[in-house]
Amino acid sequence: MNGKGKIMVVEDNEDIRFSVRLILETSGFTVTTASNGQEALDLLREGDMPRLILLDMLMPIMDGWHFAAEFHSLYGHQIPIVVMTAATDAVQRAKDVEAESYVSKPFTIELLLENVERNIKAA
C-alpha cells in the first residue's frame, strides 16, 4: 500500500474525476474512482476500503444522499466522507448526509488537499 493511503472519488463529471485523481496521486495518495453511488458501493463490496471518500451529491443512478445513507448503514462512521458540493448551503448538505467535511465547488487544489489531509489525520 502506498504511503498516504487510498481515497475514493465518487463523481459523475469525468473531468473533475480526472483532475482530482491527478491532484491526489501527485500528492502521493492512491485513488479509486466511481461515476455514481452504485458503482462506489460495488467497489466497496469487493473489499476495496479507502481511508477517505470524496463524494459528489448530484449523480445519475445513485446520488450522494443515497450512497451516504447506504455507506453509513453498511460500514458505520470509521471512514470520513468529504462532500464536494456546488450548493449554496454546503454546510447543510454535509449535515444532511452526516459527512465529516465538505468542499464547496468550485474549489482550488490547495483547498482540496488541505481538507483531505486534515480529515485523514483526524480519522
Partner 1 sequence: MVASPWGKVNVKKRHSVSTVAILCLVLVATSVLGAFGYISCLRESEQRWANLRGKLTSSADQLSVALAIPMWNLDRVQIKKIIESEMHDPEVLAVRVDDTGKTYEGGNPAPGNTEQPLSEKHEITFSGEVIGSVEVFVTPKLVLAALSKSRLQFGLLILLVDLTLILSIYLVLWKVILLPLRRLESYALAVRSGGSETSPQMGPTKLTELESLRVSIERMVALLERRFREAKASEEIYKTLFACEPDSLLIIDRDSLHVLDANDAALSMYGYYREEMLERSVLELSAEPEATKSNVVSMHPGNLIRSATRKNRRKDGSVFPADISIRAFMLHGRVALVTAVRDVTERVMAENALYAAKENAEAADKLKSQFLDVAAHELKTPLTPLLLLLQLVQRNGDNPSALTPEIWPRINRQLEHLNGLVNDLLEVSRLDLGLFAFRPQFVDLNELVSQSVDDFRRMVTDRKVTLARSIAPLEVELDPVEIKQVLFNLLDNAAKYTPPLSPIEVAISPSGGRRVKVSVTDHGQGISPQQQKTLFTRFFRVTSSATRKHSGLGLGLYVCRRILELHRGSIGVESDVGQGSKFEFEIPISRTAA
**Helices in the chain by DSSP H: which ranges?**
14-26, 37-45, 64-75, 90-96, 109-122
Residue 66's identity, in one-letter code, is: H
Location of C-alpha cell 443515497: 66
Nearer to partner 1, 72 or 107 (CB): 107
Q: How far is the CB of 7 from partner 1 (least distance, A)?
A: 15
**Residue 69 binds to partner 1 (criterion: CB under 8 A):** no
Nearest C-alpha neighbor of 105 from the set 81, 87, 91, 119: 87
Q: How far is the CB of 48 from partner 1 (least distance, A)?
A: 24
Which chain residues interact with partner 1 by CB under 8 A? 13, 15-16, 18-20, 22-23, 58-61, 63, 84, 86-88, 105-109, 112
